[in-house]
Amino acid sequence: MTAADLRIGTDRTDITPTAPVPLAGYASRAGLGPASVVLAPLHVRSLALRAGGRPAVVLVSADLLWWADDVVAPLRAAFAERFGLPPTSLVLHATHNHSGPQTSRLMTPSLGPPDDAYLDHLVERTLASIGRALDGEVPVSVETVRTPTEASVDRRWARTAGEVPRSPIDRDLTLVRFVDASGATAALLAHFACHPVVHHGNAVTSDLAGTLADVLERETTPFAMYLQGCCGDVNPARYAADGTFANGGQDDVEAIAAELAHLAARALPRATSAGHAAVAVTRRSLPLPLQDRLPLPLVERMTARGDVQGEWARIMAQDPDRYRRDPVLELVKLRLTPDLALLGMSGEPVSRFGLHAKEVSGGRCLPMGYTDGMTTYLVTARHLEEGGYEPCEAPVYFAIPAPLAPGAERAVLAEISALAAEGTMAGSTVGNEKLT
């Protein structure tokens, strides 16, 4: 099979709320009411991939905080019914945008309450976008290149002014370029690991991730899709020495996106072939081990509290079966060529897991969080010892029964290793460029 055997279709559809809605991502917005101001539109972008006469695989990326489990299942079912494709051939990814609507009915209201009318609108707009992408069949070859950036920082280190030891993070901006028969860029994937949290106000925007895709579409390609890496402990590098974060406006969002787009434009001429088409989807599931749960009678007493702990307790008390179940992490590998794959997780993984995926795959797997659902933060045993938001507070907001057990890190790493190894071949790795 040659590179020309790969055919793609693309679509970008506006999913900006048409009426004021509450936003998701910051508990500090609680009580501010629905957002009525739109600083930048939200989009869902769909990429349909066909190779060797096989059924299409569809990758979707949306300017949302995540795709919640209770949205993924019905959307997949509707996808299968409408297009006659296996539900497992749909991969739903989110940029982790903190300035868009909530998509989950399963989490604490402090993270942002869902709007049912918007969710109905979102599902229908997404299906329409997928349909238009499936109508396209542009023959393409695939190229890749990566370039380091200085736009991100280990936020646990930065926000504590160095009290928490610094951890390695993934600083690479990786580009996957789909080239048509004329040599033009038909589509571009931009993979980067950084929380898109430049903006904190009560207004709708696609923030850093969606804005980067918008800039690339204005300057480089008719279609650009942002893929969010393992950014659970990574924020934009906007911290002062005392740990204060510089909240920004839309002009700051645009400036950072422009810097990254400039790096992309400089790197693209160095892109190299990723090999022949070999599109395939592989999935795995992993129950996440948790620490000991609080006794249920204590949880029931906590339901009277008026804070997020009370919200969590009411969710647990109303659904004892959920309280007893371990959350399940879904993992998916979308192979594009034998030497290039996307590896997604239905959680919020910290850098350790993304760096591991790249290491064990020889750079052939691009790791993504916020894919095909949302469980909780995926943290390390060291993070559990250090404490802080990601390991200790976030499980309450995400409404899981207890924090992760220390052994969860080892279990997730093993699952990533196994999935990365499936269907791999020796060959080229993603091209490098040094930052100068």
Query: What is residue 31's predicted lDDT score, i.e. its pLDDT?
Result: 84
Q: Helix and strand tally (H, E) in the chain?
A: 12, 19
Count Cβ atoms below 10 Å from residue 434 Cβ, excluding itself.
Answer: 6
Q: Quick one: tokens of 117?
A: 């009318």
Confidence at 424, pLDDT banded by 50, 70, 90: low
Using CA atoms, how far apart are residues 436 and 434, in angstroms rounded to an integer?
A: 6
DSSP-derived secondary structure for 30-96: TTS--B--BSS--EEEEEEEEETTPPPEEEEEESSS---HHHHHHHHHHHHHHH---GGGEEEEE--
Q: What is the pLDDT of residues 188-228, one digit of tens each?
A: 999 999 999 999 999 999 999 999 999 999 999 999 999 99
Task: Assess whether pLDDT exceeds 90 at residue 425.
Answer: no
Using CA atoms, how far apart are residues 343 and 48, in angstroms rounded to an integer?
A: 17
Query: What is residue 5's predicted lDDT score, i.e. its pLDDT?
Result: 86
Q: Where are the domains of the chain?
A: 3-283+326-421, 291-324
Arithmetic mean of pLDDT, 266-280: 96
Confidence at 182, pLDDT banded by 50, 70, 90: very high
The conformation of residue 391, written as its DSSP 8-state character, comes to I
Percent of the chain beyond pLDDT 70?
96
8 Å CB contact between 372 and 67: yes
Q: Quick one: tokens of 65?
A: 């905080």
Q: What is the pLDDT of residues 101-159, one digit of tens each?
A: 999 999 999 999 999 999 999 999 999 999 999 999 899 999 999 999 999 999 999 99
Q: Quick one: tokens of 410?
A: 């080892």
Arithmetic mean of pLDDT, 374-385: 98
Mean pLDDT for the chain overall:
95
Task: Assess whether pLDDT exceeds 80 at residue 358.
Answer: yes
Place of tokens 């997730």: 412
Query: What is residue 50's predicted lDDT score, i.e. its pLDDT?
Result: 96
| Helical packing angle, 116-134 and 69-83, nearest 10° | 40
| Helical packing angle, 207-219 and 250-267, nearest 10° | 50
DSSP-derived pairing of the beta strands 328-337 and 280-287: antiparallel
pTM: 0.95
Query: What is residue 423's predicted lDDT score, i.e. its pLDDT?
Result: 67
DSSP-derived secondary structure for 246-307: --B-HHHHHHHHHHHHHHHHHHGGG-EE--S---EEEEEEEEPPBPPPPPHHHHHHHTT-SS
Q: What is the pLDDT of residues 42-87, one digit of tens each?
A: 999 999 999 988 899 999 999 999 999 999 999 999 999 999 999 9
